[in-house]
Amino acid sequence: MDENNTFQIHLQKLAHQDEKTFETIYTLGNGHFGVRASNPLQGNNSHYPGQPGLFVNGFYDLTQLSYGENYSGYAQNSQTICEVPDPRFIIFEVDGVRSDETPYNVRLVDKNLDMRTGVLMDIFDVKTPTNKQFRLTLQSFASHADKHLFVIRYSVSALNFTGPITIIKQHPYIKQQIQSNTTDMRAAQRQTVLDRTFIQSKLPIMMISTRKSQLALIVAQQALSDNPMHVTMLDDLPSYSKTFDLTQGMTQSFSFAYAISYPHPLLKATLSQPAIAASAEKRLANKSFKQLLDDSAAKVNQFWKNSDIELTGDDALAKGIRFNLFHLYQAAGGDGMTSIPAKGLTGPGYEGHFFWDAEMFMLPFFTYTEPQMARQLLLYRYHTLPQAQHRAREMGVHNGVMFPWRTINGEESSSYYPAGTAQVHINADIAYAIDTYVRVTGDTDFLMDYGYEIIVKTARFWLAYGHWATDDAHAGKFVINDVTGPDEYTAMVSNNYFTNRMAQNNLSIAVKYFNQIKHSHPEKLVELNVTDEEIAQFNHAADEMYLPYDEKLKIKKQDDLSTSKPVWPIKETPRNLFPLLLHFHPMTIYHYQVNKQADTVMTDCLFPKDQDEAQLKRDFDYYEAITVHDSSLSRAIFGILAHRLHHADDAYDYFMQTVMMDLSNSQGNTGDGIHAANMGSTWLSLIYGFAGLGLEKESFNLSPELPAAWNSLRFRFWFHGRQIEITITQPAVSIKLLSGQPLQFYFKHKPFKLTKDHLVNQYLK
């Protein structure tokens, strides 16, 4: 394998895509912010076909939702991630003509993202209106050492002239507009209006504020010590400007850092302007490009050490896997106050909202490889418990909490409740993620301080939202009516299998942890007011949870009525009418059996012990035939199950479509941002699927099976403070304890003892 090559995303190796798609693919981020890889000369121009911008995690404004009929409890505001002006933007002046006033001709020559260091290189050939040609090379990175910093170096070399050229670097006007495509509800729908003020300083420092959410962001610029410059006033803006003589064939470089603060609540911002200026000046003083790069690259290197998946035998695939892991890394901030938006920080799609995507599709990657990050992501949910409690009451649920389907600040932001608010399974998804985190890490402090409270309060929701049925069909069972499961092509149903199974798990883990902590931490139970009576109720509801089953078809039923509906004629529907959601009224779709994404079968994936292989096969075959995968969250789940059913070809196909989704823009909307859950699914498919890693009896089990085309798969993970490395080759497997205490583990469900410096070789067959 060409090691180096599989860490590079080289433009020349990608199929041609439009500007927006490349901007997304090459976005640089560090979880605090993301910068789309725009054309740096034209991004500020209203005719530019791309969508440049800087997205800061948690920096949003409120935009009012309008309804023809505004019912009680409808979400009143959407939160919309703000598109902050593009830090890549630069102005040139040659022969008295400025590039922001008279467009220069700019041709993209090349781009390369080096995922080893996190540095993006872009090369453009530029022609001025007076026919002067120069090559512009950008090297930029979002620092992973200091998450406030974006660093960029511009290098200019004259191609056909010798003479003066002026560069102007200033905060661009906020005139970049999100292009909203009103026919696609997944794209950005709303625009925010930002205000800006400048802060007196030796540096150009801009304060950007929102109008309704009352948030402020400070963005400071500094010419780095490689090319010190003084700030001058130009266009009434504090700017860096320098004229230098270019000699044909010679290159001039100049580097800048941007310090982007965390969003501050405006009203509470007690910081004085001099204090803001002093802290920005201090942060950026005497820094060189190389030093900042070395610091950041060291962090990126550490990430790869813990989180890389090394696949040999297929370089293109190995690269695709790394691309997805790298984007996950770029999307997770870990400040405890934010999560990961469905599009990461790469675009305005889905308005920058956090969904169940984070807990169910992305979190496992962090739980196993960067547990500290997983903890911080879960903390975000803890910090929004007050909003979730308020929402439950607003929705008439007298106990527990109700987490929002989509949100940034913890309040519900979905304007279409049947495919939004009604997805109450999010409560149980969060509880499931906490349980996995605690089981994998053994972090009982987290459980005591934060996790158990969420588990108990979400469990309380189920008792209050569901009820004990008395009708003939469900008598004596605990039922949950009027919800929507993960499949958004079926809405407002009774007893959605996924929801009920997840709620059952939520109730059961509340009981499990109660039994564990009643002796060790009785005070916690007092604090949360958890009583034996309540736990008995949880237990009873879990035991008697109604799980719909079709006795004739012998499959798990998606909901009470699902199998009685006609099946959508999938094969007869022309390709151009997919995704169905863009072409048919929701009721038309709801009328049929057609799944947007994995729903019931996801429980087969999450609870493997629930069914034997014959049941799994029936569920899989039935649901595969009615699933159209219009959601990017679908294929990987089917792929994992195909793997468990030993359908090697299907598993491989699903996996390939998962891994290459954004690099090949196969959903057609990568331009609005990456599909971050699908990227998390890449890890799930490899680790839960091909490697067959799963929790077993307070330890883990490995049941690997590699596709014939791969030579080997290597990855690392943490388990209760130990780091373990697995290498699966054809046909041997080695399991290595890199650090920590010996443990019993299971290989194909048979126990073995793993000790330090001990390599266990097990034959695959």
Catalytic one among 83, 370, 411, 488?
488
Tokens of 68: 């023809």
Confirm if 187 and 226 have CB atoms less than 8 A apart: no
Question: With CB under 6 A as the contact rule, which of the stretches 311-319, 352-360, 607-615, 699-707 interacts with ligand BGC?
Answer: 352-360
CA distances from 415 to 66, 178, 352, 595 (A): 9, 20, 15, 21
Confirm if 325 and 310 have CB atoms less than 8 A apart: no
- Supply the minimum distance, in Å, between the C-beta of residue 519 and ligand BGC: 39
Residue 357 assigned as binding residue: yes
Tokens of 215: 């948030």
* Cα R_g (the chain), whole angstroms: 27
Residue 18 assigned as binding residue: no
633 scored as a contact of ligand BGC (CB under 6 A): yes
Binding mask 669-688 for ligand BGC (x = CB under 6 A): --------x-----------
Residues 6+ apart with CB under 8 A from 761: 732, 733, 734
Question: With CB under 6 A as the contact rule, which of the stretches 49-57, 273-281, 349-357, 691-699 interacts with ligand BGC?
Answer: 349-357
Determine the Cα–Cα distance for residues 117 and 133; give it in Å rounded to an integer. Answer: 31
**Judged by CB, which is closer to ligand BGC: 154, or 489?**
489
Tokens of 492: 């407002």
Number of residues that bind ligand BGC (CB under 6 A): 12
**Judged by CB, which is closer to ligand BGC: 381, or 596?**
596
Determine the Cα–Cα distance for residues 261 and 203; give it in Å rounded to an integer. Answer: 15
Candidate list 174, 231, 342, 606; residue touching ligand BGC; CB under 6 A: 342
Q: Identity (one letter) of the amino acid at 415? A: S
Binding mask 72-111 for ligand BGC (x = CB under 6 A): ----------------------------------------
Tokens of 7: 């860490």
Residue with tokens 């403070």: 721
**Judged by CB, which is closer to ligand BGC: 172, or 349?**
349
Residue 597 assigned as binding residue: yes
Chain Cα centroid distance, residue 646: 30
559 scored as a contact of ligand BGC (CB under 6 A): no
361 scored as a contact of ligand BGC (CB under 6 A): no
**Judged by CB, which is closer to ligand BGC: 187, or 507?**
187
- Supply the minimum distance, in Å, between the C-beta of residue 678 and ligand BGC: 9
629 scored as a contact of ligand BGC (CB under 6 A): no
Residues 6+ apart with CB under 8 A from 359: 378, 381, 426, 429, 430, 432, 433
Confirm if 728 and 735 have CB atoms less than 8 A apart: no
Residue with tokens 């040999």: 312
Question: With CB under 6 A as the contact rule, which of the stretches 30-38, 350-358, 505-513, 638-646 interacts with ligand BGC?
Answer: 350-358
**Judged by CB, which is closer to ligand BGC: 351, or 443?**
351
Tokens of 585: 């009224």
Q: Note if the bond before 586 is cis, omega within 30 degrees.
A: no
- Supply the minimum distance, in Å, between the C-beta of residue 260 and ligand BGC: 25
Closest to 750 (Cα-Cα) out of 702, 705, 706, 714: 702
Closest to 487 (Cα-Cα) out of 547, 425, 542, 549: 425
Q: Show the beta-strand stretches assigned E in 82-229.
A: 91-94, 97-98, 105-114, 119-127, 133-142, 149-158, 163-170, 194-199, 205-210, 215-223
355 scored as a contact of ligand BGC (CB under 6 A): yes
- Supply the minimum distance, in Å, between the C-beta of residue 624 and ligand BGC: 17
The torsion angle over the Cα atoms of residues 168, 172, 175 and 176, rounded to 10 degrees, is 90
Determine the Cα–Cα distance for residues 407 and 388; give it in Å rounded to an integer. Answer: 11
Element (H, E) at 431: helix 425-441
**Judged by CB, which is closer to ligand BGC: 27, or 42?**
27
357 scored as a contact of ligand BGC (CB under 6 A): yes
For β-strands 743-747 and 699-702, DSSP reports them as parallel
430 scored as a contact of ligand BGC (CB under 6 A): no
Number of H helices, E strands in the chain: 20, 33
Q: Which of residues 475-504 bind ligand BGC (CB under 6 A)?
A: 486, 488
Determine the Cα–Cα distance for residues 637 and 620; give it in Å rounded to an integer. Answer: 10
CB-count exposure of residue 439 (10 Å: 0-12, 13-18, 19+):
middle
122 scored as a contact of ligand BGC (CB under 6 A): no
Q: Is 488 a catalytic residue?
A: yes
- Phi then psi for 397, rounded to 5 degrees? -100, 115
**Judged by CB, which is closer to ligand BGC: 357, or 534?**
357
356 scored as a contact of ligand BGC (CB under 6 A): yes
Chain Cα centroid distance, residue 695: 24
Residue 291 assigned as binding residue: no
Residues 6+ apart with CB under 8 A from 357: 340, 342, 633, 676, 677, 680
Determine the Cα–Cα distance for residues 542 and 459; give it in Å rounded to an integer. Answer: 10
Would you list the DSSP string of 695-761? EETTEEEE-----TT--EEEEEEEETTEEEEEEEESSEEEEEEEES--EEEEETTEEEEE-TT-EEE
Tokens of 51: 């969508």
CA distances from 440 to 350, 640, 698 (A): 31, 20, 9
- Phi then psi for 240, rounded to 5 degrees? -100, 135
Determine the Cα–Cα distance for residues 421 and 410; give it in Å rounded to an integer. Answer: 13
Which residues carry a binding-site annotation for substrate?
356-357, 596-597
Question: Which residues are annotated as part of the binding site?
Answer: 356-357, 596-597
Tell me which residues touch ligand BGC (CB under 6 A). Answer: 342, 350, 355-357, 486, 488, 596-597, 631, 633, 677
Catalytic (active-site) positions? 488
